[in-house]
């Protein structure tokens, strides 16, 4: 694993491309994201937003180019180090990815258990984050019996419980009503205010317009078309 | 470790059907191997008890006299394979012959001289059951002065020992075959169990779980399944044994059942340990291909 630290950059992508067969999902992406930034990645469906996110936590490998995350070169990271890379991220998946046969509490606790946290600390942190996300009364409920909005809250709680350095949210509000969407966005803004880097992939312009101090990166057919500072 | 056990218990309870199938499969295979082991262990015991002290008759020349006996016994004992040496004088041998022939002994009475030689009955040690060893011993004894001939039922013994060794080899082959069958079925059921949880495993990996964190409960589960299957298989075998020994006793002469016993603790522990290893190995074979980034 090579370590290259550069000022406050937490994510750096150099000419990154991702190809599935002959089709390019991402083409020559070069981005520099500073620690503590709030980034929106926008674009139509199929623009490559989710793929870009997946490259960061190594759900997919790049076809060309290099990515540095907190100084780690993802092209050279060994399989045994991948879990440790993933612990730097709190990922809110588009399809929630909750384990149906585990309770709300168990789903959220999984992140800390995987990181070998002590049982006492796990209990304290999980109960606290579930209270914060408004799921404190449903800790023993199984995900299939929750509404979409509630499942999203659990997914957010799971992403935040490990106090990650970077939060990746892939379409976190796509299946939610506007109130629930705003609640989720407020959680993310709160974590951002504590210094966490947040990347949100979305095509919901409403939530972008409700956010200040962010940066918007646009993708069209896998290519970067521009970056704008939100005021 | 406590956390892993909690996960294992929860996994077993949530996948009762698949776990039951795995345990039942292992139990059936252990039952088959156990039946064979039971038969094998008892047969060995019976063979050994029949074979106890393999015998050899050493016929002595006419120059032998009773004063030479201690020296002769010493020489044979020095060869190291004998348990006991019994002297049978020619007079005793004749008496025994008369007794054996009973009604037809009159022709013996007509003999002027005793035609039988003095002899020694040599009883060998229990562990002397290889034909080659017995042959070697016979050759060495035959070289001793005063010994005229040695008789040890070479043809009968050779046949007996080769049947015994064939029986042993068949036992190993059948046990290995059933072990392989059980391993194959166990590996596949564990693979199915893992496959049923692939979504969960994928999520665990995405939130930063290491391979060790993911697979440890599967290994514990495999071991527990193996142990449970082994105990269940032996349990069924024991019930089967009880049923047979109580039901058939009335119809089969008592001496046939007299020596039949259930597997020894040593054998039972070995079978359960093999069964646990089987569960672990099945788990190892099915999981190693799944955990690749």
Contact call for A113 and B293, based on CB within 8 A: no
3-state secondary structure (DSSP) of residue A208: helix
B114: phi then psi, degrees, rounded to nearest 5: -80, 115
Backbone angles phi, psi at A22, to 5 degrees: -95, -10
A87 has a chain B CB within 8 A of its CB: yes
Does residue B116 have a pLDDT over 60?
A: yes
- Considering only CB atoms, A115 lies closest to which of B14, B200, B208, namely B208
Q: What is the pLDDT of residue B210?
A: 92
Q: Which of B240, B57, B73 is nearest to B152 (CA)?
A: B57
Q: Is the Cβ pair B207, A158 closer than 8 Å?
A: yes
Tell me whether residue A147 is in a domain: yes
Contact call for B208 and A87, based on CB within 8 A:
yes
Q: What is the pLDDT of residue A143?
A: 95
Which pLDDT score is estimated for A3? 39
B210 has a chain A CB within 8 A of its CB = yes
Shortest Cα–Cα distance, A217 to chain B (Å): 25
Contact B210 A57 (CB under 8 A): no
CATH of B53-125, one of 3.40.50.300, 3.30.70.3040, 3.40.190.100, 3.50.50.60: 3.30.70.3040
pLDDT at B247: 61
Please state the domain extents for chain B.
2-50+160-287, 53-125
Give the model's pLDDT for residue A2: 39
B213: nearest CA partner in chain A: A114
**Residue A29 CA: distances (Å) to CA of A18, A26, A32, A40:** 9, 7, 10, 15
pLDDT for B97 equals 82
pLDDT of B161-213, one tens digit each?
Answer: 777 778 778 878 887 887 888 788 778 877 877 887 888 889 999 999 998 89
Rounded average pLDDT over B127-148: 81
d(CA B87, CA B69): 8
Q: Report the gap between the CA of A114 and the closest CA in chain B (Å).
A: 5
**φ, ψ at B202 (rounded to 5°):** -65, -40
Q: Is residue A115 part of a domain?
A: yes
Is B60 within 8 Å of B117 (Cβ atoms)?
yes
Query: Per the CB < 8 Å rule, is B3 touching A119?
Result: yes
| Structural domains counted in chain A | 1
Contact A113 B213 (CB under 8 A): yes
Which residue of B4, B10, B207, B214 is the best one to mutate when testing the A interface, meaning the one whose CB has the most A CBs within 10 A? B207
pLDDT, tens digit, 9 for 90 and up, residues B242-271:
887 776 555 555 445 445 788 888 889 998
A-B C-beta contacts closer than 8 Å: 48
* pLDDT at residue A97, rounded to an integer: 94
Per the structure block, which two tokens stand in for B8? 């294992």
Disruptive mutation site among B208, B290, B293 for chain A (greatest number of A CBs within 10 Å): B208
Q: Is residue A83 part of a domain?
A: no
Residue-number span of the structural domain to which A120 is assigned: 95-163
Q: What is the mean pLDDT of residues B59-70?
A: 88
Q: What is the ipTM of this complex?
A: 0.87
Strand partners, A12: A32, A68
pLDDT digits (tens, 9 = 90+) for A61-70: 999 999 999 9
* Residues of chain B neighbouring A158 (CB-CB closer than 8 A): 207
CA distance B13 to chain A (A): 11
For B209, the closest of A102, A114, A158 (CB atoms) is A114
**Is A136 a domain residue?**
yes
| Pairing status of strand A223-229 against strand A215-220 | antiparallel
Whether A75 maps to a domain, the answer reads no
Angstroms from B207 CA to nearest CA on chain A: 6
If one counts every other C-beta atom within 10 angstroms of the C-beta of residue B4, the result is: 16
On whether residue A108 sits in a domain, the answer given is yes
Distance from CA of B225 to the nearest CA of A (A): 21
Q: Identify the segments of chain A with pLDDT beneath 70.
A: 1-7, 210-212, 226-231
Nearest to B204 among A79, A101, A114 (CB): A114
In this predicted structure, what is the pLDDT of residue A4?
A: 43
Between CA B135 and CA B141 the distance in angstroms is 10
Position with higher pLDDT, B63 vs B1: B63
Contact B17/A at CB under 8 A:
no
CA–CA min distance B213, chain A (Å): 7
Mean predicted lDDT score pLDDT of chain B: 81
Mutate to test the interface with B, among A55, A79, A114, A154 (most CBs of B within 10 A): A114
User: What integer pLDDT is reported at residue A127 of this predicted model?
Assistant: 96
Kindly state whether A114 is in contact with chain B, defined as any CB-CB distance less than 8 angstroms: yes
What is the structure's pLDDT at B196? 79
């Amino acid at each position: 694993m090579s370590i290259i630290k550069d000022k406050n950059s937490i994510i750096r992508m150099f000419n990154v491309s991702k190809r599935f067969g002959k089709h390019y999902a991402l083409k020559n992406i070069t981005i520099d994201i500073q620690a503590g930034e709030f980034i929106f990645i926008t674009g139509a469906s199929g623009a490559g937003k989710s793929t870009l996110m997946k490259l960061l936590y190594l759900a997919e490998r790049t076809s060309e180019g290099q990515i540095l995350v907190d100084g780690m070169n993802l092209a050279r990271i060994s399989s045994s180090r991948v879990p440790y890379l993933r612990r730097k991220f709190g990922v809110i998946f588009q399809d929630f990815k909750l384990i149906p046969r585990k309770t709300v509490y168990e789903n959220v606790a999984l992140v800390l258990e995987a990181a070998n946290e002590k049982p006492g600390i796990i209990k304290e942190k999980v109960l606290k984050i579930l209270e914060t996300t408004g799921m404190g009364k449903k800790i023993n409920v199984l995900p299939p019996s929750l509404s979409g909005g509630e499942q999203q809250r659990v997914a957010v709680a799971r992403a935040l419980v490990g106090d990650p350095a970077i939060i990746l949210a892939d379409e976190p509000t796509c299946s939610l009503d506007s109130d629930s969407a705003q609640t989720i966005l407020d959680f993310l803004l709160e974590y951002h205010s504590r210094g966490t880097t947040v990347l949100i992939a979305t095509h919901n312009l409403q939530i972008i317009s409700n956010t200040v101090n962010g940066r918007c990166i646009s993708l069209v057919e896998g290519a970067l078309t521009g970056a704008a500072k939100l005021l | 470790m406590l956390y892993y056990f909690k996960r294992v218990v929860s996994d077993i309870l949530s996948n009762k059907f698949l776990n039951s199938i795995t345990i039942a499969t292992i139990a059936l295979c252990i039952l088959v191997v156990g039946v064979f082991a039971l038969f094998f262990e008892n047969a060995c015991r019976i063979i050994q008890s029949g074979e106890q002290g393999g015998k050899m008759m050493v016929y002595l020349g006419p120059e032998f006299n009773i004063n030479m006996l201690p020296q002769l016994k010493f020489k044979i004992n020095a060869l190291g394979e004998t348990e006991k040496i019994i002297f049978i004088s020619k007079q005793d041998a004749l008496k025994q012959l008369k007794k054996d022939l009973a009604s037809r002994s009159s022709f013996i009475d007509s003999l002027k001289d005793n035609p039988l030689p003095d002899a020694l009955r040599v009883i060998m040690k229990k562990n002397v059951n290889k034909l080659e060893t017995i042959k070697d011993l016979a050759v060495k004894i035959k070289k001793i002065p005063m010994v005229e001939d040695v008789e040890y039922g070479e043809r009968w013994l050779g046949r007996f020992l080769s049947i015994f060794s064939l029986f042993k080899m068949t036992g190993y082959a059948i046990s290995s075959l059933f072990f392989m069958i059980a391993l194959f079925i166990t590996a596949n059921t564990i693979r199915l169990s893992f496959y049923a949880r692939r979504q969960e495993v994928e999520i665990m990996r995405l939130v930063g779980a290491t391979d060790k964190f993911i697979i440890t409960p599967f290994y514990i589960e495999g071991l527990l399944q193996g142990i449970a299957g082994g105990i269940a298989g032996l349990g069924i075998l024991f019930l089967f044994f009880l049923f047979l020994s109580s039901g058939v006793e009335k119809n089969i002469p008592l001496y046939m059942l007299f020596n039949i016993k259930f597997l020894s603790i040593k054998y039972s522990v070995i079978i359960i340990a093999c069964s646990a290893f089987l569960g672990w190995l099945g788990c190892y074979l099915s999981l190693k291909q799944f955990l690749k980034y």
